[in-house]
Amino acid sequence: MIRLQNIEKVYRTDTIETLALNSVSLDIAKGEFLSIMGPSGCGKSTLLNIMGLLDAPSKGDIRIDDQKTEGMNDKQLAAFRNKKLGFIFQSYHLINDLQVLDNVELPLLYRDTTAKQRRELAAEALEKVGLANRLKHFPTQLSGGQRQRVAIARAIVGRPEIILADEPTGNLDSAMGNEIMEILLNLNRNDGTTIVMVTHDENMAHKTHRLVRLFDGAQVQ
Amino acid sequence: MFKHLFKLIWNKKKQNFLLITEMLVSFLVLFAVFTLMMYYYNNYKKPMGFDYQDVWVINYNNSYQTKNVDSLDLYYETLRKTIKSLPRVKEITFVSGNIPFSSRTNESGLTFRGKHVQHLNNFTVEDHYEKVMNVTLLEGRWFNKEDVVSKNQHIIIDADLKEATFGKESAVGKLLGNDDDKNKFKVVGVIQTIKRNGDYLKAGPGMYFRTDTGSFRWLDKILVKVDHGADAAFEGKLYKTMANYMKNANVEIEHLVNKRTDANYFALVPMIILAIVSAFLVINVALGLFGVLWYNINKRRGEIGLRRAIGATGKSVAAQLVSESMILATLALIIGTFFAAQFPLLNVFDLPAIVYIEGILLSVLFVYLLVLICSLYPGKQAAAIYPAVALHEE
């Protein structure tokens, strides 16, 4: 599903050159739930951003669903992200001025869908994460766990084949973290969604199919 | 997408209130400026209706007075001949004080066929007025000796009065006035309205009466058409001639060209003041708008990063920010247009409705253009935000 070959990422300033990823190669199969672990600054999020086409590698090759992403223009990248990928972030990234339903609808706004379809799909996604009774609430009226569930609903509303989750339980207590993890596991199990999750939590990581460890930008496990 | 943006704006109405107010105030000031500008422009486009070049005005007062009309006529006819005999004088005419470009007025009202004409200028002129002023005759004829004796007093009207009273039909030979037929005036000619208040202000309507035997008692101006090369030396000679003839009178000579310039300055001053005020306001709004949009982008970097992650292109992010500003402008303009529309509906300043409509359209266009220009660069900046960086920052 996702194939990374010899990925290198170098950040350059006028005076300093930082190697964030050093020749990372990964093959992630369709329907796999992979977790990435490693100390802060080891390149986990950079790797996730590269997989999510939010950042470009300095070297190396990326293929997602057998499609080479190199050379895609902004419009093609945006369309690819919209259709194939779903994102979940540690800090949720919800728009506080929009109601829950409108937040979930967001990815569909960049697709050719009617308002009615958008509403129906968003409501369905929210029902899946157990928030069918919070459609008209604003994010500020929800708990952290509920907010992350809204973010998951937003990530799955477009029915992507891949979900990229950057520390989805990082801001939550263990009970809420487990709830979120359960939802992700169900998505993987029941819908066959490929999930790549960055986490600091060993317990969460051990619930996934495979664990990859990074250290100083290199894959150590 | 439009509904989505509207929701976003509506849910942030408190933050957007000041911006909308700022746009509304600038629209209203621009509306005043553009309405005035269009009013001036529409008047400027109209023909002058007479020739003011090489026409001098002799003002006199405390002149010869006698109860004997024949002596009075003789006194002024002799003066006319004296002036006309001067080498550079082409033609002269005695005229009532409300000459073009002067602040003096002689107004009345008129109700005709149920239509009321207000601020109707009454001019008293002689047969020579036509030649001195080179007025444009549109219908009928100018005054002549036939007009001395008639059942109804003969008058000449200008195109504005004709339009207000007779509309498209011919006015010549028709009776005009408030009273019964016996006291009505008979129209013998229609002339192009003369722009007596300068190039930019409304001119008509006007009604011209022929001088009669007693008119010299109160007439206090002479219009003199001179050769193109008439100079200060000749002006001095003309002044001396007048002063010698009217021993105790105060005599002053002016040029219609200069009076026109003064009248135009007088009309333009409020326009210039308003334009300066609005220019400051527009600059203020532009900077404010620019600042707010810039601030919004920095405040919304996370949202921008998110939108890019879930499928927005850089261009669509820029378009979203520009569209949000345009929606805010539209809301301000809807409120502003409601207030502006009251001016033609209530006929506040007695201006034609089309002038207000032109003012509204130009102001709307200007505000949209201003908002577009101010939001383009911040929009471009937003499009350049790198999603991975913006998402990581929060």
Test the A interface: residue of B2, B15, B306 with most A CBs within 10 Å: B306
Q: What is the structure's pLDDT at B394? A: 59
DSSP secondary structure letter of residue B20? H
Q: Assess if residue A146 is contained within a domain.
A: yes
ipTM: 0.89
Q: What is the structure's pLDDT at A186? A: 86
Closest to B200 (Cα-Cα) out of B44, B393, B21: B44
Q: What is the structure's pLDDT at B333? A: 95
Nearest-by-Cβ selection for B312 from A78, A83, A95 = A78
Q: Cβ neighbours of residue B205 under 8 Å, at least 6 residues apart?
A: B117, B119, B120, B121, B157, B158, B160, B161, B164, B193
Q: What is the structure's pLDDT at B181? A: 64
Q: Which residues of B touch A78 (CB under 8 A)?
A: 308, 311-313, 316
Q: Assess if residue A194 is contained within a domain.
A: yes
The chain B residue lying nearest A86, using CA atoms, is B310
CATH number at residue A80: 3.40.50.300
Q: Tell me the one-letter amino acid at A100.
A: V
Q: Assess if residue A4 is contained within a domain.
A: no
Neighbours of B141 (CB within 10 A): 15
The chain B residue lying nearest A154, using CA atoms, is B310
Q: What is the structure's pLDDT at B340? A: 94
C-beta of residue B343 within 8 angstroms of C-beta of residue B356: yes
Q: Assess if residue A42 is contained within a domain.
A: yes
The dihedral region occupied by B101, where left means phi > 0, alpha psi between -120 and 50, and beta the remainder, is left
Test the A interface: residue of B310, B316, B320 with most A CBs within 10 Å: B310
The chain A residue lying nearest B385, using CA atoms, is A54
Closest to B154 (Cα-Cα) out of B179, B130, B172: B172
- Establish how many alpha carbons lie within 13 A of residue B132's alpha carbon, considering only the half-sphere containing its beta carbon: 23
Using the structure block, give the residue that is written with the tokens 């996702």. Answer: A2
The chain A residue lying nearest B4, using CA atoms, is A102
Q: Do B310 and A82 touch (CB under 8 A)?
A: yes
C-beta of residue A4 within 8 angstroms of C-beta of residue A25: yes
User: Both tokens of residue B95?
Assistant: 């005229």
**Regions in chain A scoring below 70 on pLDDT:** 221
Nearest-by-Cβ selection for A95 from B303, B315, B316 = B303
Test the B interface: residue of A77, A105, A106 with most B CBs within 10 Å: A106
Q: Cβ neighbours of residue B371 under 8 Å, at least 6 residues apart?
A: B23, B289, B325, B326, B328, B329
Name the maximum alpha-carbon separation found in chain B: 103
Q: Do A106 and B313 touch (CB under 8 A)?
A: no
Q: Assess if residue A95 is contained within a domain.
A: yes
Q: What is the structure's pLDDT at B31? A: 93
Q: Do A74 and B314 touch (CB under 8 A)?
A: yes
- Can you give the residue range of the structural domain that contains A140? 31-57+73-209
C-beta of residue B176 within 8 angstroms of C-beta of residue B112: yes
Q: What is the structure's pLDDT at B114? A: 80
Nearest C-alpha of chain A: how many angstroms from B393?
A: 10
A56 touching B (Cβ < 8 Å): no
Q: What is the structure's pLDDT at B62? A: 63
Nearest-by-Cβ selection for A102 from B7, B308, B311 = B7
Count: domains in chain A: 1
Q: What is the pTM of this model?
A: 0.77
Q: Do B314 and A79 touch (CB under 8 A)?
A: no
Q: Do B3 and A115 touch (CB under 8 A)?
A: yes
Q: What is the structure's pLDDT at A21? A: 86
A65 vs A72: CA distance, rounded Å: 15
A136 touching B (Cβ < 8 Å): no
Q: Assess if residue A215 is contained within a domain.
A: no
Q: What is the structure's pLDDT at B264? A: 92
Nearest C-alpha of chain B: how many angstroms from A178?
A: 24
B13-22: which pairs have CB atoms within 8 A and are 24 or more residues apart? Answer: B16/B328, B19/B288, B19/B289, B19/B292, B19/B328, B20/B328, B20/B331, B20/B332, B20/B335, B21/B332, B22/B284, B22/B285, B22/B288, B22/B289
Per-residue pLDDT of chain B (394 residues; tens, 9 = 90+): 778 888 888 888 888 888 888 889 889 989 998 999 999 999 999 899 899 999 999 998 866 777 788 888 888 889 999 999 998 899 999 998 889 998 888 888 888 888 888 889 999 999 999 999 999 999 999 998 888 877 888 999 999 999 988 888 998 988 888 766 667 889 999 999 999 999 998 887 999 999 887 788 888 899 999 998 888 999 999 999 988 888 878 889 999 999 999 999 988 998 888 888 888 888 888 888 888 888 878 888 888 889 988 889 889 989 988 898 899 999 999 999 999 999 988 888 878 899 999 999 999 999 999 989 988 888 888 888 888 777 776 5
Q: Which residues of A touch B312 (CB under 8 A)?
A: 78, 110
Q: Do B311 and A105 touch (CB under 8 A)?
A: no
C-beta of residue A194 within 8 angstroms of C-beta of residue A51: no
Q: Assess if residue A186 is contained within a domain.
A: yes
* Helix axis angle, B353-383 to B256-299, nearest 10°: 30
Q: Do A75 and B306 touch (CB under 8 A)?
A: no
Nearest-by-Cβ selection for A98 from B11, B302, B392 = B11
List the helix and strand counts (H, then E) for chain A: 7, 10
A50 vs B319: CA distance, rounded Å: 26
Closest to A2 (Cα-Cα) out of A212, A169, A153, A151: A212
Q: Assess if residue A122 is contained within a domain.
A: yes
A11 touching B (Cβ < 8 Å): no
CA quadruple A190, A192, A197, A203: dihedral positive or negative? positive
Return the bridge partners of B210, or none: B125
